Amino acid sequence: MPQAAALDLLLLPTWLVPVEPAGVVFTDYALGIRDGLIAFMGPRAEGLAQPHREKRELPGCLLAPGLVNAHGHGAMSLFRGLADDLPLMSWLQDHIWPAEAKWVDEAFIRDGMDLAIAEQIKGGISCFADMYFYPAVAAERIHESGARAQISVPVLDFPVPGARDSDDALRQGIALFDELRAHPRISLAFGPHAPYTVGDANLEQVRVLANQLDAPIQMHVHETAFEVQQAVDATGERPLARLARLGLLGPRFQAVHMTQVNDEDLAMLVEYNCSVVHCPESNLKLASGFCPIERLWQAGVNVAIGTDGAASNNDLDLLAETRTAALLAKAVAGSATAVDAHRALRMATLNGARALGLDGCIGSLEVGKAADVVAFDLSGLALQPIYNPVSQLIYAAGRDCVSHLWVAGQALLDGGRLTGFDEAELIARASAWGERIAEGAPR
């Protein structure tokens, strides 16, 4: 029999958490990577017997699927801390939208995306969803970085940076779909901003194009009680019901926030098999409300985790976001057993991949899937002793314990060091933007 081709890389952690099957922790296991895919998983001794070109011992480390940040606005990292401690509509209308109109251009997106990608890589995020302006520029930066992402084409009823109107945005989006159709790491979605910023005509255009291109739709929905009540007062219809009537809901629909969920909303989410992207820290900071994720989970709704943008969070730390989600779920459900540590990790990995339509490729450690893998170093003082490594990861660890990250088998973080970015140069560029914006920011 011909000998199997050598593994490109053999990883030897203390613990391996595949996420699928659920609730499993392997000790003294090995994971082998070949041609960007997971080619071997099994006991350490069997792994060492496999021919391999490189071996990496990871003592004290937990190996898991790369984290999936299912919602964010990457380039908004350059607005981090610009307008804090404000309610959503004041934050958005009086501060963020004016700042975007003044400052957002291709250079802003380029530098902001580099900052956001690097921050996410250092936090163990291998894949993220990005919804912001100049999506072609964002795609170029993601391509160069080696990260994996879903980019949403922004659609609003008024002019935005990079698009004269919604028709212009959609034309550019279709061109980008054609350009990136075969890209191995970047997928496209449509991103109508919210029910209160996009009218029926444009939503119907999005529905038609999404169906034609088999594309997902990501949208802020039921972010606040005010948004829902305003819609009911104006039309007698809740926003989610309106989206159902217009034909937007379905397995490819990603409903971001969903802090307001009544029985009818829950029934629609289940009926149409939508995913909900929970952004707990942004919701808490803007006092938007609490997404009832335990109730959604028990009903069978796929719930993923997103950081939202750094302008409203104020970081892109998905590990901390997941901890907050787990703790908040217990308080909202009134049950200490709600969203245990393994389920929390699943929301931050496989559920996120499923929401983005990428669960056949990423989100769990399985032979044949892409080698998007993160190593968490749990050997630090504050993490001892370790009875349950997954509980320790969710409830005690921070993103500073992320030591390595591979995307499609390529190392983007090695021993805590970015391989594709000059960190000092990123800081300098961000600081320069901060000085400019602070001097002329709207007050």
pLDDT of res. 4: 76
How far are the Cα atoms of 24, 152, 202, 413 from residue 176, in angstroms, in the given order?
Answer: 40, 11, 19, 29
Distance CA 16, CA 29 (A): 6
| Number of separate domains in the chain | 2
pLDDT of res. 301: 98
Distance CA 58, CA 315 (A): 28
Q: How confident is the model at residue 440 (pLDDT cuts 50, 70, 90)?
A: confident
Q: Are residues 202 and 232 in the same domain?
A: yes
Both tokens of 163, joined, read 């698009």
pLDDT in tens, 168-217: 999 999 999 999 999 999 999 999 999 999 999 999 999 999 999 999 99
Let me know if residue 442 belongs to a domain.
no
Q: How confident is the model at residue 3 (pLDDT cuts 50, 70, 90)?
A: low
What's the predicted TM-score (pTM) here? Answer: 0.97
- Cross-strand partners of 16: 26, 63
Let me know if residue 273 belongs to a domain.
yes
Distance CA 198, CA 201 (A): 8
Q: Are residues 304 and 182 in the same domain?
A: yes
pLDDT in tens, 320-379: 999 999 999 999 999 999 999 999 999 999 999 999 999 999 999 999 999 999 999 999
Cα–chain center distance at 315: 13
pLDDT of res. 441: 53
Distance CA 113, CA 267 (A): 37
CATH number, domain of 327, equals 3.20.20.140
Q: Are residues 166 and 217 in the same domain?
A: yes
How far are the Cα atoms of 121, 147, 374 from residue 413, in angstroms, in the given order?
Answer: 7, 11, 9
- Cross-strand partners of 144: none
Distance CA 313, CA 84 (A): 9
> Please, what's the b/e burial string for 167-178 (b: 16 or more CB within 10 A of its CB; e: otherwise)?
eebbebbeebbe
Neighbours of 160 (CB within 10 A): 23
Let me know if residue 378 belongs to a domain.
yes
* pLDDT tops 80 at residue 443: no
Pairing between β-strand 417-418 and β-strand 410-414 as defined by DSSP bridges: antiparallel
* pLDDT tops 90 at residue 87: no
- Cross-strand partners of 218: 254
Q: Are residues 87 and 235 in the same domain?
A: yes
Q: How confident is the model at residue 1 (pLDDT cuts 50, 70, 90)?
A: very low
pLDDT in tens, 156-172: 999 999 999 999 999 99
Q: Are residues 184 and 174 in the same domain?
A: yes
Distance CA 303, CA 320 (A): 17
Nearest alpha carbon to residue 131 among 145, 146, 113: 113
- Determine what percent of the chain is predicted with pLDDT higher than 70: 99
CATH number, domain of 41, equals 2.30.40.10
Q: Are residues 151 and 167 in the same domain?
A: yes
Q: Are residues 336 and 219 in the same domain?
A: yes
Let me know if residue 426 belongs to a domain.
no
Distance CA 224, CA 68 (A): 24
Both tokens of 377, joined, read 């170093």
pLDDT of res. 168: 96
Range of the domain at 81: 67-355
Q: Are residues 51 and 104 in the same domain?
A: no
Let me know if residue 145 belongs to a domain.
yes
pLDDT in tens, 388-401: 999 999 999 999 99
